[in-house]
Structure 1
Amino acid sequence: MLYFSSATRTQYDAILLYVEAFEQRVLYDVPIHMCRHPLLCEYIHSMLTGCRPWLLRGELENICVILLSKEGRTVETLVIEPGWSATFVEEAASDEDYQLPLVQLEEAFRAGMVALVATSAPNTGERTDSAKPNTFRIFAQTVEDATNRGTAVNDDSVSNSWVLADPIWCEDQKKQKEIFPVKSIHSEASPIRLNVYMKSEEPASAMIDKT
């Protein structure tokens, strides 16, 4: 979960959110910025700790860091889609004492972190005040699997299957988005699959051209 935590904080720093609360550190031999604010660290840590069981069971579809303007409008979204390779799942299932290949995991996370840090941040100085990021939210989406009663929507466990969607997330899903790939890791040598990309609302001119 350290990678997801650092990726989340890197996104905040890249757009000049809470700059004074960050200090420079090194993770996976990559220079990054880590947050020093206790409440912000607690929020990120508690959110990602809650996602850990889903990640280990392959039930976590993605983690989204949504940057919001002062008016609460979505400005930009960082999406991290994690998963385990088919080879890793088979080997782990066949051996109770299977150990995680830590070296390969670290290499995958390093590649993902380098790409994220190298991704050019938007020039917030050219934006109007209503289009500048002011705060953020973290959302986690899980996989619905009919073969897994813990994730499937069914009549026997409606209370566990249905969760009220956040209004910000619902409104955000209605908008046309541009997607900017950051990093994709799908090597059989790596135990983890990773897709990292950015989403931003399409300019009004682009939406007019499509109609």
Structure 2
Amino acid sequence: MERRDHQSSQAETARILVEFLEVAISSIVFLKGVYPPGAFERRRYMNVVVQRTRHPQLREYIHSAVTGLLPFIQKGLVERVAVIFFNNENVPAERFIFKLTINQSYGQKVEEANFEFSLRSFLIKLSVSEPLTKTLPRDCRWEITAYFRSLPQASSSKEAESWIPTDTKQWQQPPLISPIKSMTSEPLTLQLYVEHPSLSEPTTQ
């Protein structure tokens, strides 16, 4: 029974978190101005006004990416979820990082109201975080990348087959980090910060 309670807590936490990530990532893409403002519509989520993408393919990309992480987040395998924006040389220019930990030994009922109150503050912070970011080049591309603590076995998980190793270029120097928001509300610890290349980062020739 105790094991079932643990699994229930992690499952509920992962479900709420994945739903939140979908909204938060849409908010980040809107914040960066990658698409015209008309590509988004105002909606209310967790009693906060947020921007939801109207384009079906864009909405499906964000939705499928984060919902595909659900079983791995629940098992504690996902360490970070990143929204990466690239420059014209296909090198990361800016990264929004959600660093997360779900306490796998937590067995109590998740207080959803308290949990959502904490997550709501992330959406509020995101909406005013533009001063922490940098202007992106025109026609830049972006992607969602997940960093795993340990790799799931593709042979034992159908969901794992949809995640492939990335060939994204990495910075050679430690990045500059600007914190946006952090929280600890059992069983979840979550940090959101934005990364930029170090001033000493070699430039692409």
TM over 0.5: same fold?
A: yes
Report the secondary structure of 2:165's partner residue: coil
The Cα of 1:62 is off from its aligned counterpart by: 0.7
**Higher alpha-carbon Rg:** 1
**Residue in 2 that maps onto 1:143:** 149
2:28 pairs with 1:11: yes
Aligned counterparts of 1:172 and 1:181: Cα–Cα separation in 2: 20
Report the secondary structure of 2:71's partner residue: helix
**Residue in 1 that maps onto 2:73:** 55
State the TM-score, normalizing by the size of structure 2: 0.75
Q: Indicate how the Cα distance of structure 1 residues 32 and 53 shifts in structure 2: closer, same or farther if over 3 A, else same.
A: same
Report the secondary structure of 1:203's partner residue: coil
Q: Which moved more, 1:134-143 or 1:173-182?
A: 173-182
| 2:105 aligned to which of 87, 90, 95 | 90
**Residue in 1 that maps onto 2:197:** 201
Q: Which moved more, 1:133-142 or 1:37-46?
A: 133-142
Report the secondary structure of 1:186's partner residue: strand
2:172 pairs with 1:166: no
The Cα of 1:49 is off from its aligned counterpart by: 1.2
**Residue in 2 that maps onto 1:117:** 127
Q: Indicate how the Cα distance of structure 1 residues 191 and 107 shifts in structure 2: closer, same or farther if over 3 A, else same.
A: farther
- 5+ residue gaps in structure 2? 1-17
The Cα of 1:167 is off from its aligned counterpart by: 1.9
- Say if 1:68 and 1:134, in contact at 8 Å, map to a contact too: yes
Q: How many residues end up aligned between the 2 structures?
A: 178
- Say if 2:171 and 2:197, in contact at 8 Å, map to a contact too: no
Moved over 3 A (4+): none
Aligned counterparts of 1:133 and 1:69: Cα–Cα separation in 2: 9
Post-superposition Cα deviations, 1:111-134, rounded to whole Å, max 9, x if no partner, equal 22222222124352xx7xxx4562
Q: Indicate how the Cα distance of structure 1 residues 100 and 202 shifts in structure 2: closer, same or farther if over 3 A, else same.
A: same
2:133 pairs with 1:104: no
Aligned counterparts of 1:133 and 1:165: Cα–Cα separation in 2: 25
The Cα of 1:18 is off from its aligned counterpart by: 1.0
Report the secondary structure of 1:90's partner residue: coil
Q: Give the CA RMSD over aligned residues.
A: 2.8
Q: Which moved more, 1:57-66 or 1:178-187?
A: 178-187
Aligned counterparts of 2:192 and 2:106: Cα–Cα separation in 1: 25
Aligned counterparts of 1:202 and 1:133: Cα–Cα separation in 2: 23
Report the secondary structure of 1:197's partner residue: strand
Is the helix fraction higher in 1 or 2? 1
Aligned counterparts of 2:34 and 2:80: Cα–Cα separation in 1: 22
- Say if 1:143 and 1:151, in contact at 8 Å, map to a contact too: no
Percent identity at matched positions? 23
The Cα of 1:164 is off from its aligned counterpart by: 6.2
- Say if 2:94 and 2:134, in contact at 8 Å, map to a contact too: no
